[in-house]
Amino acid sequence: MSTRVFGSGIRRREDPRLITGAATYTDDYTLPDMVHMVLLRSPHAHARIKRIDTTRAKAAPGVVAVFIGTDVEGALNPMPCAWLVPNSNLKVAGYPCIAKDMVRYVGDIVAAVVAESPYQATDALDLIVVDYEPLPAVIDPEKAKQSGAPQVHSNVENNVAFHWTVTGGDVDGTFQKADVVIKERIVQQRLIPNAMEPRSALAHWSGASGELTLWNTTQNPHIARFLCSVVTGVPEDKLRVIATEVGGGFGSKIPAYPADFITVFCAKKLNRPVKWTESRRENFQGTTHGRDHIQDVELAATKDGKVLGIKATSYSGMGAYLSTAAPGIPTILHGLMLSGPYDIAAIREDVYGIYTNGTPVEAYRGAGRPEATFILERLMDMLAAKLGMDPIDLRKKNFIPKFENGHTVATGLSYDSGNYAGALQKLVDHVAYKDLRRQQAEDRKKGRYLGIGISTYVEICGLGPSQVAGAVGFQGGLWESAIVRFHPTGKVNVFIGANPHGQGEETTFAQIVAEEIGVDVNDVKVIHGDTQTTPMGWGTYGSRTTAVGGAALVMATRKVKEKAKVIAAHLLEAAVEDMDYKDGKFFVKGSPDKAKTIQDIALMANVAWNMPAGVEAGLEASSFYDPPNFTYPFGAHLAVVELDPETGQIDVRRYVAVDDCGPQINPVIVEGQVHGGVVQGIGQALWEGAVYDENGQLLTGSMLDYALPRADRLPDMEVLSTVTPSPHHPIGVKGIGEAGTIASTAAVYNAVIDALSPFGVQTIRMPVTPERAFNAIQEAKAGRR
Amino acid sequence: MYAPEFDYYRAGSVSEAAGLLRKYPGSKLLAGGQSLIPLLKLRLAAPVAVIDIGRIRDLKGITVKGGTIRVGAMTTHAELAASSELAEQCHALAQAAAGIGDPAVRNRGTIGGNVAHADPASDLPAVLVALEAKLTVEGPDGKRTLDAGGFFQGMMTTALKEHEILTAIEIPAHSKGQGSAYAKFAHPASRYAVIGVAAVVTTSGGKCSAARVAIGGMVPRPVRAASVERVLAGQELSAENIAKAAGQVTESLGNEVLGDIFASEQYRRSVAPVWVKRGLTQAAERAR
């Protein structure tokens, strides 16, 4: 009999194939008669296309076809936006798959070349002549909103794509009567996700049957199928999307992209399989970016440190077009979370979504929640400094008290469960916080500048009830489904609609089944990522795969178990209500020696020689699980950084995370998710940031200039946890995919300010490069003179 | 990222490579490929032919003879970093090589390719200038030897003439009381030197009898910091004296200090003394 595997850190079964390079990604597939597509992308951030001459390219060796905007017009519908945030005067500007008259960002697609080899296609790319009339460009979302700024879309006044507000409580009254008001400007710089696998599509069209197969690197193959059908007109029933192996996404593989549909268009037009894979350089320009907000934020408090209100205005850059889910990120996933783990009665945020001449922006790990956490955690530290309080004490004073089943906050959300003080206390105890502060003071006397930074957080994930999705304008459902199928030998296939792409659910979902029905974990194989074999699902993002898809799997497995019990009762000639179950065995209460194993029952159900009357053959069940609420994981993180006062260089010396994602199915996988998430957040604080010049050229367009975190710049992490189950989830789990990113940027930033504070530095832009820290020190010194 | 079409030749010897260079004007030598291949893939270079000299045996390896270290041009950075001879007798070179790029780059990239490419952000040019290395080049007019100090003429520009091939680098092994080090402010993305300081310190009777400092990364070609060397010579190697000497570096930097979006010219000038101080301090420790 199997040992208990739920909660045990068994090895990820995904790893052998991923680590040894045996995994098969979209680009690894080659089909007979396949041709290769490359894209000509705009070198201008904003220009009118006056003329395109493809004559020489079409005549180049190996070239099969060249297509421009007018060729796809009519055949490809405009790109849809799928998060139509209500009450925001949302203006979805025209987003053609191939630009026809205007290009609006460096990377906008202008032409597609199809050739027998990628080399020939690339050669021909250089032969296309495009006559551009460059126009002024704007990248900064705040500047883009000002009158007189370049207009990205002629029919969107002041580039305002939407204006969304959230209000809870009496904000104006609160700020009027507050003893203390803290103000800050926060710039959440634009980030470039850089999944390890670049984006790729391989389209196979069968003209004879009218069927399309699209291999596509996506976090949500069913949404990709849905949107592909909308744009290309291929009916959903004849459209198969395969995304069984996806090399990371971090949000950038949620949206549908023009390139995917141009690939489909070419395959249909040429009746040959067409493959497109972006280069890394193309990935920097053409795959969605994240963040890009300029925020003016304010906090109101009493003089003894009770926080009364938060208000904020955010200018959120959307890039040149609205990507699939983009409008929901700085609004629903951000503004509603503005009170975080604190009891704050008055909240208001105005969010302006702004078109700019940058690459379209999408979800990026954490998506809205890191930004909300940053606002709060920054303001908390500023308030602590102003009042001379310790940042820990201030946070404790303002936490929502421990609750187990629902707590409604000012923005109207109802958190599921939380013990924020518990997580922070665990952190404080683990690091011996007072000693740490004492040590810091001693080091400072010796000329060592260490900074200690705290961030607590609560996040909204497990997206979410479909009714809420509809209410907030998300153009899809947010339930998940699972099928559990027992084979005659007792082995199990699980088919899920979600699409894990590195998170480890092939392992953890097998652990769920093993826990629920007592099979060996190695007898369960989890299948995902192919719309032809898996049931409908809404995708892997927002830390929802385990929180929602995992719940669907639990429910499906329990249905199988119910049926198995009926069959067992029949085989044991007992009444169903007299049956008992333990560790994969069904038996009459009190007679565990005479049991039927789940394998016995699977065999009988499949051969069906002796089934109870009225019971169908087979041992299989499906569940479509729509969660009653979101889940709200939380935690407390601490970073210790060291400032080199001579050069301004900052290094992370220590990182401690306490996260509460509910019961952990596999603690090693939880730890891995925290590691990766924390590193991405540290990246934002210290190294990463897209830089454009005044003409809208992306200056950080390659790995030479865009600094991703590197292992040798990072400390070993100390990962701890507390366990507060979600009251509404069948096994209490909440989700852990984004927690690290949500907490770590603020924790590290607060540590940086703490390290810089002896010099009088109170604020600094991210990423905190050595030059920025050095200059801040010099300026603070000069200011004090 | 697909390179344009080119012909590929693999040379079995230096003379064969030289012949191919003459035969195919507009061709490029391929050593470890860590600079050329990206340029090809980005289509910033489109040579008619690529002549691979990476497998010429004579160009590989490190030998020490009579106080001179000879490094074949096709010796990889990983080999430099792992060399016990270099670690002892020419520390700065081994130290700098160990910090180039990442393991994949170090396993393919060669000292000859790196030096002949003369990227101002490279580590090795400054190191060779500080070590007063001699570079052996072979060409149609036979062999000649160039001082590292004169080899680097500007950004991506060297004293190599058309059809000449860099074949070896000779470095005087450290004598007793001599030590060297390389202090690098690495770009967080590329790992190239934002500021690279190579220092060689010679001690005698507890004092610094001579110091050689070369700066790379922040200037179009490595420069000797004569202003620093002058101040330190004859002084005790105290922290104060080193810092005082390092402070003089600005004078040697000239007016062509580079700046970019990560580190401006002004910032690099401001912190250059710190990195010089660190290079000298490490070198002085090794000299004792």
For residue B213, what is the domain's CATH number? Answer: 3.30.390.50
- The yes-or-no verdict on residue A479 having pLDDT over 70 is yes
Distance CA B143, CA B135 (A): 10
Residue-wise pLDDT for A637-689, tens only, equals 999 999 999 999 999 999 999 999 999 999 999 999 999 999 999 999 999 99
The residue segments making up the domain with residue B211 are 181-287
Tell me the nearest-neighbour CA distance from A301 into chain B, angstroms: 38
Q: Mutating which of B261, B269, B275 best tests the A interface, going by the most A Cβ atoms within 10 A?
A: B261
Amino acid identity for residue A122 in this structure? T
What DSSP string runs through A141-156?
HHHHHSTTSPPSSTTS
A772 interface with B at CB cutoff 8 Å: no
HSE at residue A198, side-chain half, CA atoms within 13 A, is 16
Residue-wise pLDDT for A438-474, tens only, equals 999 999 999 999 999 999 999 999 998 999 999 999 9
Q: What is the pLDDT of residue A760?
A: 95
Q: Mutating which of A126, A277, A771 best tests the B interface, going by the most B Cβ atoms within 10 A?
A: A771
Distance CA A37, CA A268 (A): 13
Locate tokens 């922070």: which residue?
A424
Q: What is the pLDDT of residue A785?
A: 59
A771 interface with B at CB cutoff 8 Å: yes
For Cα atoms A175, A181, A187, give the angle at the middle one, nearest 5 degrees.
110
Residue B79 and residue B160 in one domain: yes
- The yes-or-no verdict on residue A514 having pLDDT over 70 is yes
Chains A, B: CB pairs < 8 Å = 60
- Strands of A47-53's sheet in order across: A102-103, A47-53, A129-134
- The yes-or-no verdict on residue B270 having pLDDT over 90 is yes
Q: At A783, is the pLDDT very low, low, confident or very high (cuts 50, 70, 90)?
A: confident
Q: What is the pLDDT of residue B92?
A: 98
Q: What is the pLDDT of residue A2?
A: 42
For Cα atoms A585, A588, A589, give the angle at the middle one, nearest 5 degrees.
100
Nearest to B271 among A279, A646, A691 (CB): A646
Per-residue CA distances from A181 to A173, A344, A389, A395, B46 (Å): 13, 14, 15, 17, 61
- The yes-or-no verdict on residue A143 having pLDDT over 60 is yes
Backbone φ, ψ for residue B156 (5° rounding): 55, 25
Distance CA A743, CA A730 (A): 27
Contact B189 A646 (CB under 8 A): no
B73 Ramachandran zone, left/alpha/beta (phi>0; psi -120 to 50): alpha
Locate tokens 């080999």: which residue?
B79
Residues sharing a CB contact under 8 Å with residue A732, sequence separation 6 or more, in sequence order? A662, A663, A725, A726
Tell me the nearest-neighbour CA distance from A700 into chain B, angstroms: 9
B141 interface with A at CB cutoff 8 Å: no
B188 interface with A at CB cutoff 8 Å: yes
Residue-wise pLDDT for B43-82, tens only, equals 999 999 999 999 999 999 999 999 999 999 999 999 999 9
B258 interface with A at CB cutoff 8 Å: no
Tell me the nearest-neighbour CA distance from B70 into chain A, angstroms: 32
Report if residue B264 sits inside a domain: yes
Residue B166 and residue B61 in one domain: yes
Nearest to B262 among A708, A710, A769 (CB): A769
Backbone φ, ψ for residue A290 (5° rounding): -130, 165
Tell me if A309 sits within 8 A of A347, measured CB to CB. yes
Residue-wise pLDDT for B163-202, tens only, equals 999 999 999 999 999 999 999 999 999 999 999 999 999 9
Buried b / exposed e across B136-145, counting CB within 10 Å, b at 16+? Answer: bbbbeeeeee
Instruction: Name the B residues in 63-102 with CB < 8 Å from any A CB.
Output: none
B51 interface with A at CB cutoff 8 Å: no
Q: What is the pLDDT of residue A161?
A: 98
- The stretch A395-418 carries a mean pLDDT of 97
Please give the residue of chain B at the shortest CA–CA distance from A39.
B1
A699 interface with B at CB cutoff 8 Å: yes
Tell me if A295 sits within 8 A of A333, measured CB to CB. no
Q: What is the pLDDT of residue A1?
A: 43
Report if residue B265 sits inside a domain: yes
Residue B95 and residue B158 in one domain: yes
Q: What is the pLDDT of residue B49?
A: 97
Residues sharing a CB contact under 8 Å with residue B268, sequence separation 6 or more, in sequence order? B194, B195, B218, B257, B258, B259
Residue-wise pLDDT for B20-47, tens only, equals 999 999 999 999 999 999 999 999 999 9
Residue-wise pLDDT for A573-624, tens only, equals 999 999 999 999 999 999 999 999 999 999 999 999 999 999 999 999 999 9
Q: What percent of chain B has pLDDT over 90?
A: 98
Instruction: Name the B residues in 189-218 with CB < 8 Å from any A CB.
Output: 189-190, 192
Residue B18 and residue B76 in one domain: no
Residue B45 and residue B91 in one domain: no
CATH code of B110's domain: 3.30.465.10
Nearest to A119 among B2, B270, B271 (CB): B2
Residue B32 and residue B77 in one domain: no
Q: How buried is residue A193: exposed, middle or buried, by Cβ count under 10 Å (0-12/13-18/19+)?
A: buried
Q: Mutating which of A41, A705, A768, A775 best tests the B interface, going by the most B Cβ atoms within 10 A?
A: A705
Distance CA B11, CA B52 (A): 6
Backbone φ, ψ for residue B214 (5° rounding): -125, 140
- Provide the mean pLDDT of chain B: 96
**DSSP element (H, E) containing A667:** helix A667-686
Buried b / exposed e across A375-405, counting CB within 10 Å, b at 16+? Answer: bbbbbbbbbbbebebebbebbbebbbeeeee
- The stretch A284-298 carries a mean pLDDT of 98
Residue B72 and residue B31 in one domain: no
- The stretch B279-283 carries a mean pLDDT of 98
Q: Hey, what are B31's tokens?
A: 């050593």
Residue-wise pLDDT for A86-127, tens only, equals 999 999 999 999 999 999 999 999 999 999 999 999 999 999
Residue B69 and residue B166 in one domain: yes
Instruction: Name the B residues in 30-49 with CB < 8 Å from any A CB.
Output: 42-43
Residue-wise pLDDT for A536-570, tens only, equals 999 999 999 999 999 999 999 999 999 999 999 99
Residue-wise pLDDT for A37-65, tens only, equals 999 999 999 999 999 999 999 999 999 99
Residue B45 and residue B79 in one domain: no
Distance CA A325, CA A84 (A): 8
Tell me the nearest-neighbour CA distance from B241 into chain A, angstroms: 17
Contact B188 A713 (CB under 8 A): yes
User: Can you give the C-alpha Rg of chain B in angstroms?
Assistant: 19
- Last-in-domain residue among B113, B148, B172: B172
Residue B189 and residue B244 in one domain: yes
Distance CA A353, CA B49 (A): 51
Report if residue B1 sits inside a domain: no
Distance CA A537, CA A220 (A): 8
Tell me if A513 sits within 8 A of A494, measured CB to CB. yes
- Report the SS3 class of residue B15: helix
Residues sharing a CB contact under 8 Å with residue A510, sequence separation 6 or more, in sequence order? A13, A494, A521, A522, A524, A525, A526
Residues sharing a CB contact under 8 Å with residue A335, sequence separation 6 or more, in sequence order? A164, A165, A166, A312, A314, A349, A351, A372, A411
Contact B189 A703 (CB under 8 A): yes
Distance CA A582, CA A438 (A): 54
Nearest to A699 among B5, B261, B263 (CB): B261
Report if residue B2 sits inside a domain: no
- Report the SS3 class of residue B36: helix
**CA nearest to A700, candidates A284, A356, A287, A320:** A284
A58 interface with B at CB cutoff 8 Å: no
Residue B89 and residue B188 in one domain: no
Locate tokens 């003209």: which residue?
A207
Beta bridge partners of B248: none
What sign does the CA torsion over A187, A333, A191, A737 have?
positive
Counted domains in chain B: 3
Q: At A3, is the pLDDT very low, low, confident or very high (cuts 50, 70, 90)?
A: low
Distance CA A362, CA A373 (A): 18
Which domains are delineated in chain A?
A: 32-135+202-248+253-273 (3.90.1170.50), 377-462+629-784 (3.30.365.10), 479-625 (3.30.365.10)
Distance CA A18, CA A246 (A): 10
Query: Helix crossing, A550-571 with A505-517: angle to 10°?
Result: 30
Report if residue B152 sits inside a domain: yes
Report if residue B147 sits inside a domain: yes
Beta bridge partners of A38: A113
Question: Which residues of chain A neighbour B188 with C-beta distances below 8 Å?
Answer: 686-687, 707, 710, 713
Tell me the nearest-neighbour CA distance from A543 into chain B, angstroms: 29
Tell me the nearest-neighbour CA distance from B224 into chain A, angstroms: 22
Contact A704 B4 (CB under 8 A): no
Contact B189 A119 (CB under 8 A): no
- Provide the mean pLDDT of chain A: 97
- The stretch A59-78 carries a mean pLDDT of 97
Nearest to A774 among B1, B261, B267 (CB): B267
Contact A706 B189 (CB under 8 A): yes
Residue B158 and residue B260 in one domain: no
Distance CA A513, CA A494 (A): 9
Per-residue CA distances from B38 to A162, A196, A198, B97 (Å): 42, 18, 17, 20
- Last-in-domain residue among B117, B147, B172: B172
Distance CA B43, CA B63 (A): 38
Tell me the nearest-neighbour CA distance from A650 into chain B, angstroms: 12
Nearest to A771 among B4, B267, B275 (CB): B267
Helix, strand, coil percent values for chain B (each to nearest 5): 40, 30, 35
Report if residue B110 sits inside a domain: yes
Q: At B288, is the pLDDT very low, low, confident or very high (cuts 50, 70, 90)?
A: confident
CATH code of B13's domain: 3.30.43.10
- Last-in-domain residue among B172, B195, B221: B172
DSSP letter assigned to residue A361 = B
